[in-house]
Each structure stands twice: as C-alpha cells, then as structure tokens.
Chain A
Amino acid sequence: MITIDSNTKKTLMDLYTKKGIGLEGNITKLIDTENDEEFKKYLKECETKDGDKRRKRLEMTKKIQKQNEELINLNAENQKIMDDLQSTLKGAEEQRVRIEVQNGELIDWREENEKIQQDLQREMINSERARIQAEEAKTNAINDLDILQKRNQTELISNIVKVALYIIIGVGIVTTGVYVFTLVMGKDTQVISATWSNIFGILLTNAFSIVGTIMGIKYATENKQ
C-alpha cells in the first residue's frame, strides 16, 4: 500500500475541491488512508467519480462494439450481395458470349443459306432454260415428225397416183393399141370401139375419182392438224 504525507493529502483534496481534479484509476485502491476520515472520503469520491466515468465509457465502448459488429455483419451481407451480383454479371456475360457465338453461327448459316438459295435460283433458271429448250426440241421434233408424215403421205399419194396413172395409161395404151390394130387390120370395130370408149370413159372417171379422193384426204388431214 502507498502512504501519503499530510501536506500532499491536503494539496490533493484542495485540488479536488477547487478544480474538481481527483485521482483516477486503480491507484486509488493502493493508497493507505491511515484512518484519515477526510482523506478516506476524498478517495471514496474519487473512486466513485472514476467508476462513473468508467461505467459511462464501458457503455459507450460496448455500443461502439455493437455498431462495429453490425457494420461487419452488414459488410459481410453487402459482400455476399456483391458476390451474387458479380456471379450474376459473370453469368450474363457468359450468356452474352454464348448468344454472340450463336449469332455468329446463325449469320454463317444465313449466308450459307443465301448462297444455297442463289445456287438454287441459278439452277432453277438453268432448269427453266432446259425446259424451254426441251419444249422447243419437242416442238421441233413434232414439226419434224409432221413434215415427215406429210412427206410420207405425199410420197404415198404420189406413188398411188403414179401407179394409178400408169395403170390408166397402160390400160389406155393397150385398149387404144388393140383398137388401132383392129382398124389397121380392117376388122370389125364395133365391139372394140364400144369397149375402148367404155374403158376410156371408165379409166378417166376412175383417174379423176382417185385424184379427187387423194386431194380430199390430203385436205382433210391438213385441216385436222
């Protein structure tokens, strides 16, 4: 324990009375009052004042400590929100990159499609041209066939006419020859002249009939086509 002389005690007590300055802290617990009631009272007051101060400071520090804890918790919560936000942003960024890649693929695909479409159009034009050419070829073929048919028909008709004319001319010549021979030989021409006349008439009629029929057929065939 610490002992203090009477002058120092008086100085300390005067200082406390006049200016309110007293001893503070645990030092007051170590001072021996030596049964000095006045100094004991002074120390008691100093201890009470110090205790009040400490109590007040304790409350304040506790309050600050609590606020600090709340701030730390809030900070942790904020950090968590920030982390979530960053995670969301990262996700959005990844999504954006993925969409960009998909867009790129779509653009490539569209370009490829356009190219295919252009090729297709070109092919369609070629096809249309080919079709037109085919149609033209068909028309030409039909025309050629028609011409061929007509030529054949003409040839056939020509042959028929020729043969018919040869027969008519042949029969005419033979009949005329027999009639002339009869006349030259001075024989009876009654029968032969009638026969010649009849045959000639028949031949001419038949010849015109043949020619007429052929011309009729030819005309009808032309109209039909």
Chain B
Amino acid sequence: MIDSILLVDDEDLFHLVFEDACSLLDISLSLNALNSSDEAAKLFQKWFQDGNNNDKPECVFVDLNIIGSSFDGIELIRKINFEYGNHVVVGIISSSNEPEEQAKAVQAGAQFWIIKSDDIEPRLEEFRKDYEGYKNRTLPFKVYK
C-alpha cells in the first residue's frame, strides 16, 4: 500500500472519484488533492528548501492540462524531478492518449501514464501491482490504457 498520494487535478469531482477508488482498492492510506500545479510546485519547493521529506507524498498523480495553472502537468513533473529533488514516484493521469505528449512526459521524468475514463479502477489496480517497480525505479515508463 502506498503511504501517501498527492493528486494534482483541476476537477474537484475527480478528486472524489480518485479518493474513493484508492480507498476501495486499498491503494493508499492518505490522499491529498490540489487544484493547481502552481500550488503543488510551491509545496515541493518548500519541502526541498526545508529539507523535510516527512510531509512529502510518496507518489504524485498529475493531470496533463490543469486549468487555472500557469504551467501544465508535464512542466510540474519536470520541476519536481529536476528542480525540487527526485524522491517521489510521479506520473500523469489524463484522458489524453497522445504519444507526443507521452514522449514529453518521459523526458520530464514521468514514470507512468494512466488514461482517465469512467472505468478507472482496473487501471489503478494494475498500477498498484506495478508500484513497487516504480518505487525501486526498475520499471520503465508504462501507459495504462
């Protein structure tokens, strides 16, 4: 089970869906959700500057296009990986399935890409099984369709 998850997504309704799905699938004990990539970047910057990794989530799910933010999910992942220390499992959760965007995400250091849809539970279940691989950084980038 993942200790703590941070979801960055502009859609509040999806926060509820994701939280309930994670709880039902026993994926995580703790889940925090943010609406903007700016807020998330500020938190990671703070954790990086303070050197305090206790509050840091174990895994981060980022939406691709976050309305109301000054940069998209791929840029947030790049910042998390290259500016604020690379100590979390991080990937994209989006309804988009564009190979070009996925290639950009890989370059930014994303480890997975989960396609959002009505039936998200099977993908999260599969992700849960693969999680240890991401944590150990032994599993390559994977798209959950």
Interface set, chain B 10-57, CB cutoff 8 A to A: 11, 13-14, 16-17, 20-21, 23-24, 26, 28-30
Q: Residue on B with the closest CB to A30? A: B29
What total of chain B residues lie within 8 Å of the partner, measured CB to CB? 14
Chain A residue contacts of B126, Cβ below 8 A: none
State the Cβ distance, A127 to closest chain B Cβ, in Å: 83
Partner of B29 from the list A29, A62, A64, A68 (CB cut-off 8 Å) is A29
Chain A residue at minimum C-beta to C-beta distance from B95: A69
B100 at the A interface (CB under 8 A): no
Q: A26-B30, A55-B20, A61-B13 are in contact. List 19 more A-B contacts (CB 8 A).
A: A26-B29, A29-B26, A29-B29, A50-B23, A51-B23, A51-B24, A54-B20, A54-B23, A54-B24, A55-B24, A57-B20, A58-B20, A58-B21, A58-B24, A61-B20, A62-B17, A64-B13, A65-B13, A65-B118
Complex Cα distance, B23 from A30, in Å, reads 13
Interface size on A, residues (CB 8 A): 16
A25 CA to B19 CA in the complex, in Å?
Answer: 10
Instruction: Point out residues on B near A: beta carbons under 8 Å.
Output: 11, 13-14, 16-17, 20-21, 23-24, 26, 28-30, 118
A residues adjacent to B (C-beta < 8 A) = 25-26, 29-30, 50-51, 54-55, 57-58, 61-62, 64-66, 68
Chain B interface, >50% SS class: helix
Distance from B28 Cβ to chain A, minimum over Cβ atoms (Å): 8
| Residues of chain B contacted by A29 (CB below 8 angstroms) | 26, 29
B20 and A65 contact, CB distance less than 8 A: no
Whole-angstrom CA separation of A57 from B15 in the bound complex: 12
11 contacts between A and B (CB under 8 A): A25-B23, A26-B30, A51-B24, A54-B23, A54-B24, A58-B16, A58-B24, A61-B17, A62-B118, A65-B11, A65-B118
Measured between C-beta atoms, what is the minimum distance from A55 to chain B in Å? 6
B18 to chain A, nearest CB (A): 10
Report the Cα distance A57→B13, complex, angstroms.
11
- Interface residue from A26, A62, A64 paired with B23 (Cβ < 8 Å): A26
Closest chain A CB from B122 CB (angstroms): 14
Give the residues in chain A near B11, CB-CB below 8 Å.
Answer: 65
A residues near B28, Cβ cutoff 8 Å: 26
Which residue of the partner chain B has the closest CB to A29? B29
Chain A residue numbers with a CB within 8 Å of B16 are 57-58, 61
For B28, give the chain A residue with the smallest CB separation: A26
In the complex, what residues of B have CB within 8 A of residue A65's CB?
11, 13-14, 17, 118
Complex formed: what's the CA distance from A65 to B12 in Å? 10
B81 to chain A, nearest CB (A): 28
CB nearest neighbor in B for A54: B20
| Most B C-beta atoms less than 10 A away, residue of A29, A55, A62, A66 | A62
Complex CA–CA separation, A66 to B28 (angstroms): 25
* CA distance in complex: A186, B22 (Å): 189
CA distance A199 to B14 in the complex (A): 159
Q: Could you tell me the distance between the alpha carbons of A23 and B123 in the complex, rounded to whole angstroms?
A: 28
Can you name the residue of chain B whose Cβ is closest to the Cβ of A64?
Answer: B13
